[in-house]
Amino acid sequence: MSKGWESKSVEEQQAEKHSLAAAPKPVAASMHLEEAERKRKRQALELQRERILSERTSSPHRRTALTNALADIEEKLAELGWTLHL
């Protein structure tokens, strides 16, 4: 008898979980999540930029590739509202 009671409780918990997951999220919460994702992307791009700036090479081909990668990263950062801090 206790097994039946436990399984019913689990079923109710799962049903409640699914109904909460299906409910629309508040606008403020989704905006907060979007801002957090945007911040994470910006930080990752800033780290990539710093790594590229720290690399030293005598190869002209490698230097060109690094310059192009840096320009691409800075373009993506600009799309996220980043500005160059001197």
pLDDT at 9 over 60: yes
pLDDT at 20 over 90: no
The answer to whether the beta carbons of residues 70 and 53 sit under 8 Å apart is: yes
Q: What is the pLDDT of residues 21-70, one digit of tens each?
A: 665 666 677 788 888 999 999 999 999 999 999 999 999 999 999 999 99
Q: What would the 3-class secondary structure string for 50-74 be?
A: HHHHHCCCCCHHHHHHHHHHHHHHH
pTM for this prediction: 0.59
